[in-house]
C-alpha cells in the first residue's frame, strides 16, 4: 500500500513535469503547425542556466530569471530563424528546429562540460516532508507539483480570461481569420513560441536538480514529450495534461514491476513461444522506456488526432 | 517543397545514353586511382568511410530530395542491414561457405525487410506526421535492439572477421586496400542503380508525389503505395551501406543505428544539396573529410557542422549543389564576372563573422579545459587566457562587425546575381 502511494506521488510529479514541457510544444504546434524538435533542448538549457545562476544568485533568483532568459532566446529564434524558413514550408521548419536541437546539444557540453553538473535542491526545501512506510518523501517533490499546478492555473486563466488569450485561442483554429481581423498574428506566434520555451525553461529549473542535469537530458526526454503531445492530440492542452499523467504513470509505475515478460504471459494463461528466448526474460521495468515510442507510432498510425485533438497531425 | 525540382527531364536522343554514361566511367577511373593518390592507411580508411557515406546519403536522398519524405531514423536500416550482414560474416567465421563480396547483399535484404515493415506504418502519412513516425520507429528499434543482447550483442555490439571466409579469385580481403576495392565497387554499382532508378517511372512518380500527392491520386496512382515502394528501395540501399560498414569496421553496434547516425546522414545530405542527384555525394565526401580533418584540430567540429547545416537551411536550401547549379547558366553565358565583385565585397564580412563564431566556440571550449586543469591551446595561433574578458569581447566584436557588414554587402550581391541569371537564362 505504501509502495502504491509512493508510485502515485512520483508518477504525478513526473507527469506534471511532462505536462509543463508538452503544453508549450502543443500550443506551438497548434498555432503554427511547427513541430519544435528543439523543445526539449530549451528544457536542458533551462536546467544548465539555472545551475549557473543558482551558484551566483541562488535558486529563487534562477526560478525567476532563467525562464525569462530561455523565453527570450526562444522568441529571438522564432523571429529571426523560424520566420525566415517559414516560406520554404513545414519540412524546412522541421529541418531548422532539428538543426537548432543539434546546435544546442553541442553548445551545452562545450560550455558546461560532458559530465553532469552538481545542480542541487535549495537547502530551504531539502528536507523530508513526511514518511511513507520506510521512505521519506522529499518536500522538493511537492514543491515541483505545486509549481506545475500553479503554472497550469495561470496558463488556463490567461488563455480563458484575457484578451490576448482570446486571440491565441482564436489563432489556434482560425489563424487567417484572426489576421484578417487586424491582429498581428506573427507577433502572437513569436509570443507563444517564446512563452512555450519559457515554460520548458521553467521545467528545466525545477526538474534539473530533482533529476540530473547532464548534456543527454534533452535527448532522453525529447521523444517522450513528442509522444505526449501526439497522444494528447496536437494543439489540445487538456489532451496534453491527460497524456502526460498517463505516460507518467506508465513510466514510473512499470519501473517498480520487476517481473519478466514471460512470467506475466504465463500468469495470463498464454504459453511462451520458444523463439527468441531473451525476449521473454526481459523484465517489465526494462520494457517501460519503450512504451512511449510504441504509443507515438501507434497513435500516429491509427488515430492521428490523438485523444483530444480536433485536427490530425 | 523545399527546393525546386532540379531533375532535368531529357528525351533520350541518339548517343545520349553513351554520353550520360561518361561521368560514371570517369568516377570509376577516379575511384581506382584515388588509393594511389592519398597518403597511407589513414587516407585509405577515409576513402572507405566516404564510399559507405555516399551510398547511405544517396539512399537518404531517395526519400528527402526525390520523394519529399524527411526520415529522422534512416540509420535504423543501415544498422539492421549491418547486423544481418554481420550475422552472415560470423557464419562464415564458423566455417560456412559464404563469399565476402556478396555480404552487402545480406545487408540489402535486412534493410529492405526493415523498411517494408517500418514503411507500412510510416508511409501512410506524409510531411510532419511521416517525420514523427520515423522518429518514433527509430527510438523504438534502438531500444528493442538494446533489449535483445542475444541477437544484437547489447552495448558492445557484434564483431566478426572479414578475412576468414573463402578466398574469391585469390583475395581474402584482409588488407584495407582489398576492402577498399570491394567497397568502391559496391558504392559505384549502388550509385549507378540509384541514378537509373531516378529515370524509371517509379522515380518520376516519387517526384510527383513529393510535389503534389493529391494530383497523383487523381491520375489513378496511390501516393501512399508509391511512398512505401520508394521507402522500401531506400531501405535496401541503406542496408547495403550497413553491410559495407560491417565488413569495413568488422563490428556493428547499436550506435551505428542511433539518432546520431540518423542526424549525421541528414546533415551531410542537406549540406551537399537535396535538389540534385549528385548533391548528397558532395555532402558525404565533404562531411566525412571534415569530420576526420577538423576533429584533429578542434573539439567543436560537430557544432560547426550543425551551424553550417542551419545556415544552409536558412539561406541556401539548395545546399552546395544548389549553389553550384545556380551559377551554371552564368558560367555558360560568360557572365560570371558580373557577380564576382559583389561576392568579393561580401567576403570580409563573412570571414569576420565566421572568425567571431569560431573564436567564441573555441574560447568556451578552452574555458572548460582550464577548469579541468589543462593548459589551453592557442586560438588561431594566439595564446589567450579564456578566463579574462578581453578575448571574449574581441570574438564578439568580430562576429557583430561581420554580421553588420554582411547586412550591408549581401543584398547588392544577391541583386547582381539575380540580374545576371535572368540575363543568362533569357533566350
User: Which class is B27-316 in CATH?
Assistant: mainly alpha
pLDDT at B375: 67
Query: Best of A48, A101, A297 to disrupt the B interface by mutation (most B CBs within 10 Å)?
Result: A297
3-state class (DSSP) for residue A214: coil
Higher pLDDT, A100 or A262: A100
pLDDT at B411: 83
**pLDDT reading at B425 higher than 80:** no
**pLDDT reading at B5 higher than 50:** no
Write down the mean pLDDT value for chain B.
85
**pLDDT reading at B8 higher than 60:** no
Q: What is the DSSP letter of A183?
A: -
pLDDT at A181: 87
* Size of chain B, expressed as the number of residues it contains: 427
| Interface contact A289-B317, CB threshold 8 A | no
**pLDDT reading at B174 higher than 90:** no
**pLDDT reading at B212 higher than 70:** yes
pLDDT band at B10 (very low <50, low <70, confident <90, very high): very low
> Can you tell me the distance from the alpha carbon of B19 to that of B7, in angstroms, rounded to the nearest whole number?
17
> Can you tell me the distance from the alpha carbon of B35 to that of B372, in angstroms, rounded to the nearest whole number?
41
Shortest Cα–Cα distance, A161 to chain B (Å):
32
**pLDDT reading at A184 higher than 60:** yes
| Interface contact B313-A92, CB threshold 8 A | yes
Q: CA nearest B141 in A: which residue?
A: A290
Shortest Cα–Cα distance, A163 to chain B (Å):
31
pLDDT at B4: 45
Domain ranges (residues) in chain B: 27-316, 333-425
Higher pLDDT, B176 or B82: B82
pLDDT at A274: 62
What are the angstrom distances between the C-alpha of A192 and each of A27, A154, A215, A242, A244?
7, 15, 26, 22, 20
> Can you tell me the distance from the alpha carbon of A142 to that of A147, in angstroms, rounded to the nearest whole number?
9
What are the angstrom distances between the C-alpha of B388 and each of A244, B219, B363?
45, 67, 10
pLDDT band at B61 (very low <50, low <70, confident <90, very high): very high
Average pLDDT over residues B214-234: 93
Asked if residue A20 lies in contact with residue A203, where contact means CB atoms within 8 angstroms, the answer is yes
Average pLDDT over residues A39-56: 92
pLDDT band at B310 (very low <50, low <70, confident <90, very high): very high
Report percent pLDDT > 90 for chain B: 34
**pLDDT reading at B1 higher than 60:** no
Write down the mean pLDDT value for chain A.
83
The answer for residues whose C-beta is within 8 angstroms of residue A93's C-beta and 6 or more apart is: A34, A35, A82, A85, A86
pLDDT band at B14 (very low <50, low <70, confident <90, very high): low
pLDDT (tens digit, 9 = 90+) per residue, B149-162?
A: 778 887 888 888 77
| Interface contact A88-B259, CB threshold 8 A | no
The Cα diameter of chain B in Å comes to 70
> Can you tell me the distance from the alpha carbon of A252 to that of A248, in angstroms, rounded to the nearest whole number?
6
Question: Of B280, B263, B249, B342, which is closest to residue B49 (Cα–Cα)?
Answer: B249
pLDDT band at B3 (very low <50, low <70, confident <90, very high): very low
**pLDDT reading at B229 higher than 90:** yes
Instruction: Quickly tell me which residue has 509512493 as its cell.
Output: A6
pLDDT at B325: 86
| Interface contact B314-A223, CB threshold 8 A | no
**DSSP count for chain A of H helices, then E strands:** 15, 2
Cα A81 from chain centre? 23
Query: Best of A89, A300, A312 to disrupt the B interface by mutation (most B CBs within 10 Å)?
Result: A300
Report percent pLDDT > 70 for chain B: 92
pLDDT band at A277 (very low <50, low <70, confident <90, very high): low
Q: CA nearest A285 in B: which residue?
A: B147
pLDDT at B50: 93
Question: Of B277, B254, B197, B210, which is closest to residue B70 (Cα–Cα)?
Answer: B210
> Can you tell me the distance from the alpha carbon of A299 to that of A231, in angstroms, rounded to the nearest whole number?
6
3-state helix/strand/coil string of chain B: CCCCCCCCCCCCCCCHHHHHHHHHHHHHHHHHHHHHHCCHHHHHHHHHHHHHHHHHHHHHHHHHHHHCCCCCCCHHHHHHHHHHHHHHHHHHHCCCCCCHHHHHHHHHHHHHHHHHHHHHHHCCCCHHHHHHHHHHHHHHHHHHHHHCHHHHCHHHCEECCHHHCCCECCECCCCHHHHHHHHHHHHHHHHHHHHHHHCCHHHHHHHHHHHHHHHHHHCCCCHHHHHHHHHHHHHHHHHHHHHHHHHHHCEECHHHHCHHHHHHHHHHHHHHCCCCCCHHHHHHHHHHHHHHHHHCCCCCHHHHHHHHHHHHHHHCCCHHHHHHHHHHHHHHCCCHHHHHHHHHHHHHHHHHHHHHHHHHHHHHHHHHHHHCCCCCCCECCECCCCCCCHHHHHHHHHHHHHHHHHHHHHHHHHHHHHHHHHHHHCC
Average pLDDT over residues B42-65: 92
| Interface contact B68-A296, CB threshold 8 A | no
pLDDT at B222: 92
Give the closest of A35, A88, A219 to B317, CB-based.
A88
pLDDT (tens digit, 9 = 90+) per residue, B106-155?
A: 999 999 999 999 999 888 888 888 888 898 899 889 888 888 877 888 78
pLDDT band at B427 (very low <50, low <70, confident <90, very high): low
Whole-model pTM?
Answer: 0.88
Amino acid at each position: 500500500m505504501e509502495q502504491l502511494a509512493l508510485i502515485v506521488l512520483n508518477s504525478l510529479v513526473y507527469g506534471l513535469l511532462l505536462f509543463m514541457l508538452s503544453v508549450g510544444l502543443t500550443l506551438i504546434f497548434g498555432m503554427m503547425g511547427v513541430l519544435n524538435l528543439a523543445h526539449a533542448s530549451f528544457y536542458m538549457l533551462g536546467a544548465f542556466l539555472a545551475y549557473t545562476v543558482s551558484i551566483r544568485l541562488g535558486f529563487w533568483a534562477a526560478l525567476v530569471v532563467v525562464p525569462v532568459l530561455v523565453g527570450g532566446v526562444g522568441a529571438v529564434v522564432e523571429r529571426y530563424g523560424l520566420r525566415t524558413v517559414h516560406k520554404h514550408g513545414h519540412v524546412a521548419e522541421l529541418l531548422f528546429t532539428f538543426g537548432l536541437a543539434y546546435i544546442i546539444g553541442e553548445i551545452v557540453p562545450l560550455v558546461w562540460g560532458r559530465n553532469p553538473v552538481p545542480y542541487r535542491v535549495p537547502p530551504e526545501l531539502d528536507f523530508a516532508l513526511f514518511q511513507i512506510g520506510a521512505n521519506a518523501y522529499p518536500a522538493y517533490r511537492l514543491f515541483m507539483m505545486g509549481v506545475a499546478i500553479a503554472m497550469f492555473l495561470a496558463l488556463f486563466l490567461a488563455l480563458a480570461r484575457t484578451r490576448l488569450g482570446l486571440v491565441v485561442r482564436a489563432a489556434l483554429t482560425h489563424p487567417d481569420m484572426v489576421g484578417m481581423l487586424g491582429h498581428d498574428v506573427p507577433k502572437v506566434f513569436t509570443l507563444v513560441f517564446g512563452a512555450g520555451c519559457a515554460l520548458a525553461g521553467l521545467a528545466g529549473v525545477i526538474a534539473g536538480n530533482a533529476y540530473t542535469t547532464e548534456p543527454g537530458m534533452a535527448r532522453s526526454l525529447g521523444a517522450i514529450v513528442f509522444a505526449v503531445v501526439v497522444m494528447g492530440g496536437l494543439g489540445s492542452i487538456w489532451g496534453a495534461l491527460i497524456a502526460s499523467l498517463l505516460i507518467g504513470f506508465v513510466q514510473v509505475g512499470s519501473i517498480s514491476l520487476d517481473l519478466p515478460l514471460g512470467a506475466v504471459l504465463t500468469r495470463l494463461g498464454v504459453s511462451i513461444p520458444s523463439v527468441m528466448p531473451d525476449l521473454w526474460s526481459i523484465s517489465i521495468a526494462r520494457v517501460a522506456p519503450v512504451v512511449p515510442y510504441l504509443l507515438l507510432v501507434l497513435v500516429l498510425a491509427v488515430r492521428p488526432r490523438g485523444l483530444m485533438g480536433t485536427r490530425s497531425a | 517543397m523545399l527546393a525546386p525540382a532540379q531533375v532535368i527531364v531529357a528525351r533520350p536522343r541518339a548517343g545520349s545514353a553513351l554520353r550520360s554514361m561518361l561521368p560514371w566511367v570517369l568516377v570509376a577511373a577516379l575511384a581506382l586511382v584515388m588509393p594511389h593518390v592519398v597518403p597511407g592507411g589513414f587516407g585509405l580508411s577515409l576513402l572507405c568511410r566516404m564510399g559507405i557515406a555516399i551510398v547511405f546519403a544517396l539512399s537518404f536522398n531517395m526519400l528527402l530530395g526525390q520523394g519529399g519524405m524527411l526520415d529522422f531514423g534512416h540509420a535504423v536500416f543501415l544498422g539492421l542491414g549491418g547486423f544481418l550482414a554481420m550475422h552472415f560474416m560470423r557464419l562464415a567465421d564458423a566455417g560456412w561457405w559464404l563469399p565476402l563480396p556478396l555480404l552487402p547483399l545480406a545487408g540489402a535484404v535486412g534493410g529492405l525487410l526493415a523498411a517494408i515493415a517500418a514503411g507500412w506504418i510510416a508511409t501512410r502519412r506524409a510531411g510532419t506526421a511521416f517525420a514523427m513516425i520515423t522518429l518514433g520507429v527509430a527510438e523504438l528499434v534502438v531500444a528493442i535492439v538494446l533489449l535483445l543482447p542475444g541477437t544484437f550483442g547489447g552495448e558492445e555490439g557484434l564483431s566478426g572477421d572479414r578475412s576468414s571466409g573463402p578466398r574469391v579469385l585469390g583475395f581474402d580481403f584482409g588488407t584495407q586496400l582489398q576492402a577498399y576495392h570491394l567497397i568502391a565497387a559496391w558504392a559505384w554499382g549502388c550509385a549507378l542503380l540509384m541514378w537509373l532508378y531516378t529515370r524509371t517511372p517509379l522515380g518520376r512518380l516519387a517526384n510527383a508525389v513529393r510535389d503534389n500527392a493529391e494530383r497523383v491520386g487523381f491520375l489513378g496512382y496511390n501516393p501512399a503505395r508509391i511512398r512505401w515502394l520508394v521507402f522500401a528501395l531506400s531501405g535496401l540501399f541503406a542496408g547495403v551501406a550497413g553491410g559495407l560498414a560491417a565488413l569495413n569496421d568488422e563490428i556493428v553496434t547499436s550506435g551505428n543505428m542511433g539518432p546520431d547516425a540518423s542526424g549525421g546522414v541528414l546533415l551531410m545530405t542537406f549540406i551537399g544539396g537535396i535538389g540534385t542527384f549528385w548533391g548528397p555525394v558532395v555532402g558525404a565526401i565533404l562531411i566525412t573529410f571534415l569530420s576526420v580533418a577538423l576533429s584533429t584540430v578542434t573539439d567543436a567540429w560537430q557544432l560547426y557542422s550543425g551551424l553550417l547545416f542551419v545556415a544552409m537551411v536558412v539561406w541556401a536550401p539548395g545546399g552546395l549543389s544548389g549553389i553550384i547549379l545556380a551559377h551554371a547558366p552564368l558560367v555558360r553565358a560568360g557572365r560570371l564576372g558580373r557577380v564576382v565583385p559583389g561576392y568579393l565585397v561580401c567576403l570580409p564580412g563573412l570571414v569576420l563573422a565566421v572568425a567571431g563564431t569560431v573564436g567564441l566556440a573555441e574560447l568556451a571550449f578552452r574555458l572548460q579545459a582550464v577548469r579541468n586543469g589543462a593548459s589551453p591551446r592557442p586560438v588561431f595561433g594566439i595564446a589567450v587566457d579564456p578566463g579574462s574578458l578581453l578575448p571574449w569581447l574581441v570574438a564578439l566584436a568580430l562576429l557583430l562587425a561581420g554580421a553588420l557588414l554582411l547586412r550591408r554587402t549581401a543584398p547588392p550581391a544577391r541583386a547582381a546575381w539575380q540580374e545576371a541569371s535572368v540575363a543568362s537564362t533569357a533566350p
